[in-house]
Structure 1
Amino acid sequence: MKISATGVLFLPWALKFLWAPYVDRYGSRRRWLLTLQVSAALVALALSLLDLSSTLRWLFVGIFVINALSATQDIATDGIAVRTLTVSQRGLGNGLQVGAYRIGMVCGGGVLLWLFSFAGWQVLFVAMALLILLATAPVWFMNKQLAAADVDTDRQPESEGPARLAVAWWSRLRRPGMVAFILLIVGFKFGNSMGSALVGPFLSDNGLTLTQIALVEGGLSSVAALGGAALGAWLSFRFGRRQALLVGGIAQTLSLALYVVASFGIGGFPLLVAANVTEHVLGGAATVAVFALMMDASEKRYAGSDYTLMACAIVFAQGASGLSAGVIGDVFGYTALFGSALVLSAVGCAVLIVALDRGWGPVGLHEVISVESRTH
């Protein structure tokens, strides 16, 4: 029961769109970041002082609070990125974002667990607090130009009070083209997410040991994703979002074909490694291009709200794709799962490209695509 209940601890990441308008509306995003990061560090330090040997209750409470603070911090971070990055910088910026996320996963999921294995949970939480504060240092030294760009000058307090902000996400969802664009990016990501959902069990069922799975899913996949982030950033910067999406989408779809082949028992361990690495490199490249499009689709005044709404839609889609993968895998087997994922990925890629060419989505998005079509 305790293990299954841990999913509740991560709900803030799926529901943060509900309070994103408050982050856009009140205070500077720099102030939000400093307050939230320092608060998260203090919670981690508080956990280091508690006796967690008899009950996990306070550990769960602390993790939930840190997740809520971190999810809210993510709203402010995305808002700063949308407001300050130029159109040409967004591909590079999202490449750094995806790459930094992977580095954080390695440090948080690998290094801290290694530290816990011989130093205990008190040292683990102290180290976590120090890492949070270290990551906050650049925000403290944010230059004046960036800080000035972060301050809204057109807020209307009389029309955007706390009560209206509680449902402001709904008005952002009703923007012309927003629902269509959300469905497009969800469709683009769904097939690949479904295919990757059961990779761990697939590797285990193919005879890989826990050590081998940790190497493939942990070390190699993280390095591959870093390479994919760099590739996606370069493709977006050099050739534009459409071409990056086309190349990344087709390539990530073809990478699923390697899993289809492996599901027939062909290729052994080398093919399994090749499939995993290829999927993370090419999927990472496509993700960078999608995130750049999401920034283009966000209005600067509502940057955090718009971007968060789209990001949460992807989180929900990943959950749905994981459930779908489990059902298909259990009923029809891995070959049907990876084959279905391949088809859905191909269809999602094709539909998104065609829709972009036809000007679907929010106004800011097709303005960027139109300019890129003339310059690349």
Structure 2
Amino acid sequence: AAVQDVALDALAVQLLEPAELGPGSTVQVVAYKLGAALAGGALLALLPTLSWTRLFLLLAAAYWVAAALAWAAPALRRLPRPPPSERRPHTVRLLRDVLAVPGTVWTAGFVLTYKLGEQGASSLFPLLLLDRGVSAPELGLWNGVGAMVCSIAGSSLGGTLLAKHWELLPLLKSVLRLRLGGLACQTALLFHLDALGASLGPGTILRGAALLSLCLQHFLGGLVTTATFTGMMRCSQLAPRALQATHYSLLATLELLGKLLLGALAGALADGLGPHPCFILLLILSALPLVYLGLAPSTLL
């Protein structure tokens, strides 16, 4: 799967024109989310009807169809073949060449940090709602199906706005501000509930606001993801063709590392600091990308 990601990302960077990066990123992000939902939910729902053998044969058939479509795609045949190289470049030299591409260091810093606060909050906030009276089935519906639908809608909207010639950095700045405001509302709700010693009983306004805030944050998260992936592609297109796959793979790895880091450490931070200081820290981490956008190089404007 990782090799497929690298190959597909390299193709997207090489095939898409600058004006197509927004819609192209949308297709990648939305199709990935739909595929994950289909494989993780819909296919398992068919398990009582199909046996495990037939289910895996169905998955194998899907891979064969995808391979056949890729093999027959005219656009892939038009790609220039890479020139033969006498020897492979040393890893240190390759990394130096990648980092020398204009805007790479700034983009690497942004993709490593732009999801820190969001991922930490999305890991902790549902658990805190459980502790305050929200039932597990209801939370699973809102934080599962509802969050996935809102995330896909946000990613689709991001591509639509970029296709309508919205500038990338102003769009990112606007969405990051909205996301910071949403996290501030979640933090204020948490402080309010703890100050009153109240629980989120059925039918209360606070309960509805808390559950809707989950969907809103996933919607904004999907939007900012599409915009960020567009910026990553734009930066990778500045690299020499022979380096574009390596360049984008580095950025994608850092983006994934940034998302996983706070998601994995959120529980330990909440236990060590307490929920209130932890959410204040997450607010600060969510504000940092807004400050960082002011340092964006002219090559990415």
TM-score range, shorter chain: 0.7 to 0.9
Contact 1:91–1:232 (CA under 8 A) maintained in structure 2? yes
Kindly tell me: are residues 169 and 319 of structure 1, through their superposed partners in 2, closer, same or farther at Cα, counting changes over 3 Å? farther
Q: Contact between 1:87 and 1:368, CA under 8 Å: does it hold in 2?
A: no
Counterpart residue number, 1:240? 167
- Contact 2:98-2:243 at 8 Å conserved across structures: no
Given the superposition, is the C-alpha separation of residues 205 and 246 from structure 1 closer, same or farther in structure 2, using an over 3 Å criterion? same
Separation (CA, whole Å) in 2 of partners of 1:131 and 1:331: 46
1:157 aligns with 2:85: yes
Distance of 2:166 and 2:11 partners within structure 1: 25
1:148 paired with 2:78, answer yes
Pair 1:231 & 2:231 matched: no
Q: 2:254 aligns with which of 297, 310, 313?
A: 313
Among candidates 107, 128, 135, match of residue 202 of structure 1: 128
Looking at structure 2, the residues matched to 203 and 115 of structure 1 have their Cα atoms a distance apart, in angstroms, of: 32
In structure 1, distance between residues paired with 2:185 and 2:167: 28
After superposition, the Cα gap between the structure-2 partners of 1:219 and 1:173, relative to the gap in structure 1 and judged at 3 Å, is: same
Map of 1:339 onto structure 2: 280
**With structure 1 as the length reference, what TM-score do the two structures score?**
0.69
* Alignment match of 1:279 (pick from 198, 204, 217): 217
Consecutive unaligned residues in structure 1, runs of 5 or more: 1-69, 360-365, 370-376
Q: Which amino acid aligns with 1:256?
A: L
Moved more, 90-99 or 258-267: 258-267
Contact 2:235 2:300 in 1 (8 A): no
The residue that corresponds to 2:294 in the other structure is 354
- Provide Cα deviations, 1:326-370, integer angstroms capped at 9, x if missing partner: 22211233333333222211122221x2111xx2xxxxxx4352x
1:225 Cα deviation from its structure 2 partner: 0.9
The TM-score, its normalising length taken from structure 2, stands at 0.85
Q: Identical aligned pairs, as a percentage?
A: 26
Cα displacement string for residues 26-72 of structure 1 (whole angstroms, at most 9, x for unaligned residues): xxxxxxxxxxxxxxxxxxxxxxxxxxxxxxxxxxxxxxxxxxxx110
Relative contact order, CA 8 A, sep 6+: which one is greater? 2
* 1:120 to 1:254, Cα distance in 2 relative to 1, 3 A: farther
Mark the CA change 1:242 to 1:116 in structure 2 (over 3 Å): closer, same or farther: same
Q: Distance between the aligned counterparts of 2:50 and 2:133, measured in 1?
A: 33
Amino acid at match of 1:158: E
Q: 1:87 to 1:146 in 2, by over 3 A?
A: same
124 and 209 in structure 1: CA distance in 2 versus 1, 3 angstrom threshold? farther
Aligned to 1:131: 62
Q: Residue type matched to 2:182 in 1?
A: S
In the alignment, which residue of structure 2 is the partner of 1:7?
A: none
More helix per residue: 1 or 2?
A: 1
1-structure distance, mates of 2:98, 2:117: 24
Equivalence map 1:240-259=2 (5 Å): 240-259=167-186
Partners of 2:215 and 2:56 in 1: CA distance: 32
